[in-house]
A and B are shown apart, each in its own frame.
Chain A
Amino acid sequence: MAGIIDVPKARINCSMLLQHINQAVCFVGRVSKVHPSGKTFTAVDGEGKTVTVELNCCLEEELSGVVEVIGLVSNKGVLMAATYNLLREDRGTPFDLELYNEALKVIHDFPQHYPFEAAVSG
C-alpha cells in the first residue's frame, strides 16, 4: 500500500481503465451502489460510465457522494482500491464531476503539456 501512495498515479475515468491495467490510478466518481457486504461498490464517472471498486477491508461508514479512489486496475477492469477519499458535499463548493471529466480529457489529450510523472520523479 505504501508503494501505491508514493507512486505517481494517472487520473482516469472509466473509458481509460483498460489502458491502465495493472497500474496505479486515481479515479474520481460518484458512488452509486454499495454491495451489502460492504466490500465493493460501484461508482459513476463524469461521463456516466460505471466502474466496480473493491476494497480490502470493509466499509465502516455509509458511503455516498463523490469519492476519490486510489488503487490498482485488475485484469478484469475492476479497481482494487488501496485508499479512498470522500469529497464532502456539505463543505465548500460542490464538486463538478462533468467539469472534472473535461479536464481529464484535456490532460490525456495533451500529455506533452501535463508531464506529471516527470514532475514527481524529477
Chain B
Amino acid sequence: MSIPLTQGAIEALYKGLPIKNPLLQLLNIRQMTSNSGLPRFRLMMSDGQHALSSFLLTTQLNHLPEQKLLVQHCICMLKKVVTSTLADGRTAVTVMDMEVVQSPEETGGRIGNPTPYNKDGQMSSPAKKSSATLEPDSSSATAPGPSHRSTSFSRSNAAQSSPTNSPMKVSPMKDTISPMKVSPKKEANSPMKFSPAKDTNSPMKASSSSPMKVFPISTLNPYQSKWTIRARVTNKSNVRQWSNSRGEGKLFSFEVVDESGEIKITAFNNEVDKFFSLLEQGKVYYISKATLKVANKQYSTLKNDYEMTLHAHSSIVPCEDNQSIPTMNCNFVQIEELENRDKDAVIDVIGICKKAEDVSRITTRNSREVSKRALHLIDSSGKEVTATLWGEEAEKFDGSGQPVVAIKGARLSDFGGRSLSALFSSTIMVNPDIPEAFRLRAWYDREGYAVNSQSLTERKSTNSGSRMNWKTLSDVKNENMGHEEKAEYFSCLATVVYMRKENCLYQACPSADCNKKVLIQHNGLYRCEKCNREFSEFKYRFLLSANLADFGDNQWVTCFQETAEVLLGHSAQTLGQLRETDEAAFDEVFQKANFRTHIFKNRVKLETYNDESRVKVTVMEVLPVDHREYSRRLLSNIRRLAF
C-alpha cells in the first residue's frame, strides 16, 4: 500500500505557492549534460493527479539518483524547493532538498493516472511547438520524442530527452526560446550543444531566436537575409586556384536544387577549407547565411537570376529528410534531336557509351596541356554522337562495360556536324540511379547493341559538301556575318573580278616559320623584328587583296600565301621576280587569273585596328568548282524551296 501523494501539490509548486513537504511520486528521471561537467538531473513528478517534468534536482543531491536511491516510481518528500521562472516564461522547480520515503517496490507502480500539468498548454512539453505532432505525450520524457522534422536533431539529442530540451535552465537563463521552435535546421555547428545551462536548450546554437523556416530557392534574393534553404547538391566542382594581377586564391562551386528551383553557390579561400569536404554530391543540406548577388551568366547556365557566395558566417548542415527534394533537374535531349538544337546550347544528354577512346593529351592555343577523351554515346533514338571529356574527368573515366553515361550541362557544338563537349560546370554521371538510365540499359541490352547507328559527329568528312556552310555573298551582309566576337566560317562560289596588283607582295623574313615583314636597313640588310636578326635576303610572300562577285553581291577579301598562289597560279617568288624583271608578264598573270570562278572557304570576323572595327573576310582555301556537285546542290535547294 503506497503512501498517498499530496494532491494539488504539482499545481501549487508550479504556481510558486507555499506547500509544506509535499509527497510526490517520481515518474521519470533524466540526466542531462551540463557545461560544468556535473550531471544535472531532471525529474518528472506526479501528485497522482498531475505530472510535471519541470523539476530540477540540485547537484548537491546528485548522489540520490547516482546511488540508485532515487529511481522511477519511488515516492519522495520535497523538503525545500525553489520555483523560478525562466527568461522565456517557463517555470522550473528546483528541488533543493528531498527525501525518498518509499521505494518503487513498495509503491507498486505509478499511482493514479496523472495528466501533464498544462497551464496554457505549454508547460509540459517545453518544446517544439513547431511540430504539431507533439502532444501531451511529449511531456513524458520517456518518449523518445517525436523527431521533429529533423532526425539529425533527435539523434543528436539522444542523450537529452528529446522533446525537451529542457528549458530547464536553472540559472543563467540566457535562454531565449524553446529550442524546439528553433528548427534544428538552423544548426550550424555542433548540433551537439547540450548544456542547457548555457544557452538555449537547443542543441543548436540558436543564436537567433527566429523560427527556422525553409525557404524555396526560387524566393531567394539579395534583399532578404534571414533565410534557410534545404537543397540537394547536384554538381560539385573541384577546387580551382587562380592567380591574377589582383591577387590569388582558390574557389570551388556547387549547384543545389530543391522543389522550386536551383542555384549556384561558390566558396572562396577559407570557406573552401571549411565546406569542401563536408559537401557531397547527391546529399541534401540546410544552408543559410550566404551572400546573394546577381548571377554571372558567363560561368553558370542555371536558371536563376542570382547566385550565392558563402562567407564566414554561412552555415551548412546535412539534412536527412530528403524525400521531397528532386535528385537532379535533368532535361535529357534525345541524340537525334541534337541536330535541331542550336550550336553552343547547353543541354543534358544520357546515352550508352558504346565506345570510349583512350585519353589523349593535347596542347591548347595558350600552350596549356590538357587531357581529353572522346566518348561515343548512343540512345534509343538510334543515333550516336561524340562527347568529349576534359582534364580529370577524361582521365578517370572508365568506359568498360558500356555504361550509361549522363551529362548535365554539356555544350553542343557543330564540330563535325554535331558533337558535345563537357564544360567546367558539367556533371558527368556514370550509371546513374535514375529511371532513364534503367530504360536505356534495358533497351541497349535488348536491341540497342545491334543497331547500326549513324553518328551525328562525322569524323572524316568524306563528302566535303556536308560540312560546309554554304552562303552567297549577299548573305554575308544580310546576315551580318562576323559581327559577333567569334569568327564565322562559310563557303561560297564566286568569281574573281579584280585583284590589286600593287602591294600584293611583301618582303618577309627568310627564316622558316617566320612570316613577319622585314625592314630594309641603311646597310642594305633586312631586319626582322620578331627574330631580332638581320638577313641579307628575304622571301616574297603574298598578301593579295581581291574582289569576288557572284550573282547577288561582291566582297573584298584578303588572300594569303597559299590561297593567292592558287588564284594566280604562280608562287610568290616567281611573281616577285617577274615584277622586277618583266612587267608585262607580271600583268598577264593577273589578267589570266581574273574572271575565274572558284569555290572559296572563308573566315569572316570583326577586326579592330587602332580603335576602328571592321568586318574582314579572309580566304582560307580555294577549291576548283565541282560543277556536278554544285548543280546537285542547286537542284536540291530549288526543290526544297518549291515546297
Q: Quick check: is B460 within 8 A (CB to CB) of the other chain?
A: no
CA distance A109 to B627 in the complex (A): 22
User: Do B628 and A106 touch across chains, with their CB atoms under 8 A apart?
Assistant: no
Known: A93-B627, A93-B628. A110 touches B642 (CB 8 A): yes
Nearest-neighbour CB distance to chain B for A11, whole angstroms, equals: 15
Nearest-neighbour CB distance to chain B for A62, whole angstroms, equals: 27
CA distance A103 to B635 in the complex (A): 7
User: Do A106 and B631 touch across chains, with their CB atoms under 8 A apart?
Assistant: no
With beta carbons under 8 angstroms apart, the residue of B632, B638, B639, B642 that contacts A99 is B632
User: Do A96 and B642 touch across chains, with their CB atoms under 8 A apart?
Assistant: no
Nearest-neighbour CB distance to chain A for B150, whole angstroms, equals: 74
Which residue in chain A gives the minimum CB-CB distance to B631? A99
User: Do B638 and A106 touch across chains, with their CB atoms under 8 A apart?
Assistant: yes
Nearest-neighbour CB distance to chain B for A116, whole angstroms, equals: 16
Q: Quick check: is A102 within 8 A (CB to CB) of the other chain?
A: yes
User: Do B635 and A102 touch across chains, with their CB atoms under 8 A apart?
Assistant: yes
CA distance A93 to B642 in the complex (A): 29
The contact string, 1 if C-beta is below 8 Å from chain B, for chain A 32-69, is 00000000000000000000000000000000000000
Nearest-neighbour CB distance to chain A for B34, whole angstroms, equals: 96
Which residue in chain A gives the minimum CB-CB distance to B627? A93
A95-111 at interface with B (beta carbon < 8 Å): 96, 99, 102-103, 106, 109-110
Contacts of B632 in A (CB 8 A): 99
Nearest-neighbour CB distance to chain B for A114, whole angstroms, equals: 11
Band of interface residues on B:
under 10
B586-643 at interface with A (beta carbon < 8 Å): 627-628, 631-632, 635, 638-639, 642
Which residue in chain A gives the minimum CB-CB distance to B638? A106
CA distance A106 to B634 in the complex (A): 11
CA distance A109 to B642 in the complex (A): 10
Nearest-neighbour CB distance to chain A for B432, whole angstroms, equals: 50
Summarize B's interface: helix, strand, loop or mixed: helix
Nearest-neighbour CB distance to chain B for A13, whole angstroms, equals: 15
Which residue in chain A gives the minimum CB-CB distance to B636? A102
CA distance A115 to B628 in the complex (A): 23
Question: What's the count of A-B pairs with C-beta under 8 Å?
Answer: 17
Contacts of A96 in B (CB 8 A): 628, 631
Nearest-neighbour CB distance to chain A for B149, whole angstroms, equals: 74
Contacts of B631 in A (CB 8 A): 96, 99, 103
Contacts of A109 in B (CB 8 A): 642
A78-106 at interface with B (beta carbon < 8 Å): 93, 96, 99, 102-103, 106
Contacts of A103 in B (CB 8 A): 631, 635
Nearest-neighbour CB distance to chain A for B597, whole angstroms, equals: 14
Which residue in chain B gives the minimum CB-CB distance to A109? B642
Contacts of B635 in A (CB 8 A): 99, 102-103, 106
CA distance A106 to B638 in the complex (A): 8
Which residue in chain A gives the minimum CB-CB distance to B635? A102
Nearest-neighbour CB distance to chain B for A92, whole angstroms, equals: 10
Nearest-neighbour CB distance to chain B for A36, whole angstroms, equals: 36
Which residue in chain B gives the minimum CB-CB distance to A113? B638
Nearest-neighbour CB distance to chain B for A110, whole angstroms, equals: 7
Nearest-neighbour CB distance to chain B for A94, whole angstroms, equals: 9
Contacts of B642 in A (CB 8 A): 109-110
CA distance A96 to B628 in the complex (A): 7
Contacts of A99 in B (CB 8 A): 628, 631-632, 635
Contacts of A110 in B (CB 8 A): 638, 642
Nearest-neighbour CB distance to chain A for B437, whole angstroms, equals: 48
CA distance A102 to B642 in the complex (A): 14
CA distance A106 to B633 in the complex (A): 13
Nearest-neighbour CB distance to chain A for B128, whole angstroms, equals: 82
Nearest-neighbour CB distance to chain A for B623, whole angstroms, equals: 15
Contacts of A102 in B (CB 8 A): 635
Contacts of B627 in A (CB 8 A): 93
Contacts of B639 in A (CB 8 A): 106
Nearest-neighbour CB distance to chain B for A69, whole angstroms, equals: 22
CA distance A106 to B642 in the complex (A): 10
CA distance A106 to B639 in the complex (A): 8
Which residue in chain B gives the minimum CB-CB distance to A95? B628
Which residue in chain A gives the minimum CB-CB distance to B626? A93
Nearest-neighbour CB distance to chain A for B435, whole angstroms, equals: 49
CA distance A103 to B639 in the complex (A): 11
Which residue in chain A gives the minimum CB-CB distance to B632? A99
CA distance A110 to B627 in the complex (A): 22
CA distance A44 to B255 in the complex (A): 69
Nearest-neighbour CB distance to chain A for B626, whole angstroms, equals: 8
Nearest-neighbour CB distance to chain B for A46, whole angstroms, equals: 12
CA distance A17 to B555 in the complex (A): 44
Nearest-neighbour CB distance to chain A for B228, whole angstroms, equals: 69
Contacts of B628 in A (CB 8 A): 93, 96, 99
Contacts of A93 in B (CB 8 A): 627-628
Nearest-neighbour CB distance to chain A for B637, whole angstroms, equals: 11
Which residue in chain A gives the minimum CB-CB distance to B628? A96
Nearest-neighbour CB distance to chain B for A77, whole angstroms, equals: 27
Which residue in chain B gives the minimum CB-CB distance to A94? B628
CA distance A96 to B635 in the complex (A): 14
Nearest-neighbour CB distance to chain B for A101, whole angstroms, equals: 10
CA distance A96 to B631 in the complex (A): 10
CA distance A102 to B630 in the complex (A): 13
CA distance A110 to B642 in the complex (A): 9
CA distance A99 to B631 in the complex (A): 8
CA distance A99 to B634 in the complex (A): 11
Contacts of B638 in A (CB 8 A): 106, 110
Contacts of A106 in B (CB 8 A): 635, 638-639
CA distance A78 to B265 in the complex (A): 83
Nearest-neighbour CB distance to chain B for A99, whole angstroms, equals: 6
Nearest-neighbour CB distance to chain A for B277, whole angstroms, equals: 68
Nearest-neighbour CB distance to chain A for B98, whole angstroms, equals: 110
CA distance A93 to B632 in the complex (A): 15
CA distance A106 to B637 in the complex (A): 11
CA distance A102 to B632 in the complex (A): 9
Nearest-neighbour CB distance to chain A for B121, whole angstroms, equals: 89
Nearest-neighbour CB distance to chain A for B223, whole angstroms, equals: 63
CA distance A109 to B639 in the complex (A): 10
Which residue in chain B gives the minimum CB-CB distance to A92? B627
CA distance A103 to B630 in the complex (A): 12
CA distance A61 to B642 in the complex (A): 44
B229-281 at interface with A (beta carbon < 8 Å): none
The contact string, 1 if C-beta is below 8 Å from chain A, for chain B 46-79, is 0000000000000000000000000000000000
| 7 additional A-B residue pairs with CB within 8 Å, beyond A99-B628, A106-B638, A109-B642 | A93-B628, A96-B631, A99-B631, A103-B631, A106-B635, A106-B639, A110-B642
- 15 A-B contact pairs sorted by A residue (CB < 8 Å): A93-B627, A93-B628, A96-B628, A96-B631, A99-B632, A99-B635, A102-B635, A103-B631, A103-B635, A106-B635, A106-B638, A106-B639, A109-B642, A110-B638, A110-B642
3 closest Cβ pairs, A-B complex: A102-B635, A96-B628, A99-B631
